[in-house]
Amino acid sequence: MRPWVVWATPFVAVILAVIVGALLIIGFHHNPVVAYSALFQGAFGNVQDIATTLTDSLPLMLTGLGVAFAFRAGLFNIGGEGQYWVGAIVATIFGIAFPGLWAPVHIFICIVAAMIAAGLYAAVIPGLLKAYLGAHEVITTMMLSYAMVFFGHYLVENGPMMRPGFIPESRPLAASALLPTLVPGSQLSVGIFLAPVCALAMALLLNRTTYGFGIRTVGQNPRAARYAGIRVPIYTVSALFVSGLFMGLAGSVQVMGVEHQLLDGFNSGYGFTAIVVALLGKNHPWGTLAAAILFGALSAGANTMQINAAIPVQLVNAVEGLIIFFVATEGLIHWGLSRRHAAVQPAPGQGALAG
């Protein structure tokens, strides 16, 4: 595979989704140009819109980085949703527990506690089971994800964290645990600055540290890694831990920056969308951020599109679905992009040159 083909694939997937989405919009007797420009306006039209887009993107950026990191170690952490809930729950507990602390300290404690808890939730059970018993992390992270999401619901629905009254939600966090708002009138908090910091940290960790070299080796070829003296189980467990750190960070930042309390409706599917975000971003830190912004823009712009162009939000969901579809059929796009080279060079496996 040529490198440019690999990098072009996500763009082609998005373009194809936009084209097929346009056909779909035409099919429903709307004007795709009007629809897309309303969508774009809604996502990037003014500072408030951009703030909303970034607010919607932030949890996807962080969870996306978590999925991407696990992928780089050859692991498929699809239980990000549950780990995200762990982060949210722990941040809420710590955010309520120490009112009156100096805000930077309080925020720091909440975030670190949430990250470590979520990291352990990913590493201890799925990580150890995978490393020493070979239990597949797709199953274990998925199962534990559901367990944690339901446990979170229980906590605020008649559980110990429910505030007095009848609404299934926790008490609000202490003011000292809230992330300052960045754009007045929006929900965008200073937490957004964590995204590029995290992406940079992940890039450095993977490419500039010996630990990252081990992670990449294990991810690319665990057998060769063993032969080279790398202890694969350690990397399996620790990669899931680091992946969980990102998820926990996402959950805590969402509680501390946007929701300010744990809600029954907190569940949002970020942990699952994160998988698509990471795939679209080619498991590359900066690519993942870009993909998250795309998905944030789609969700933020959808409402404007509905109001201004009277086009149902569901069409945006369809476009999201199409992107997922075209990312998933990446092999097809590869084939399409490299077809003109196929005339020059036989496909691998055909072996015409191997003689």
- Under the binding rule (CB under 8 A), the answer on residue 351 touching other proteins is yes
Identify whether the C-beta of residue 126 lies closer than 8 Å to the C-beta of residue 140.
yes
168 φ/ψ angles, rounded to the nearest 5 degrees:
-75, 85
Nearest distance, CB of residue 133 and other proteins, angstroms? 14
Q: Token match 């990913």: residue?
A: 122
- Under the binding rule (CB under 8 A), the answer on residue 340 touching other proteins is no
- Under the binding rule (CB under 8 A), the answer on residue 330 touching other proteins is no
Closest to other proteins by CB, 144 or 225: 225
- Under the binding rule (CB under 8 A), the answer on residue 285 touching other proteins is no
Identify whether the C-beta of residue 62 lies closer than 8 Å to the C-beta of residue 254.
no
- Under the binding rule (CB under 8 A), the answer on residue 207 touching other proteins is yes
Closest to other proteins by CB, 2 or 136: 2
Please name which of 162, 142, 128 lies closest in space to residue 82, comparing C-alpha atoms.
Answer: 142
Nearest distance, CB of residue 46 and other proteins, angstroms? 43
Nearest distance, CB of residue 196 and other proteins, angstroms? 21
- Under the binding rule (CB under 8 A), the answer on residue 346 touching other proteins is yes
Nearest distance, CB of residue 335 and other proteins, angstroms? 18
- Under the binding rule (CB under 8 A), the answer on residue 229 touching other proteins is yes
Handedness of CA 46, 49, 51, 54 (dihedral sign): negative
DSSP codes of every residue in 46-58: SHHHHHHHHHHHH
Nearest distance, CB of residue 284 and other proteins, angstroms? 14
What are the Cα distances from residue 188, in Å, to 53, 105, 256, 258? 9, 21, 11, 7
Instruction: Give the HSE-up count for residue 41: Cα atoms under 13 Å, Cβ half-sphere.
Output: 13
Closest to other proteins by CB, 32 or 285: 285
Candidate list 231, 307, 335, 339; residue touching other proteins; CB under 8 A:
231
Please name which of 283, 240, 289, 206 lies closest in space to residue 77, comparing C-alpha atoms.
Answer: 240
Closest to other proteins by CB, 43 or 239: 239
| Residue 243 DSSP SS3 | helix
Residues of this chain that bind other proteins (CB under 8 A): 207-214, 216-217, 220-221, 223-231, 344-346, 351-355
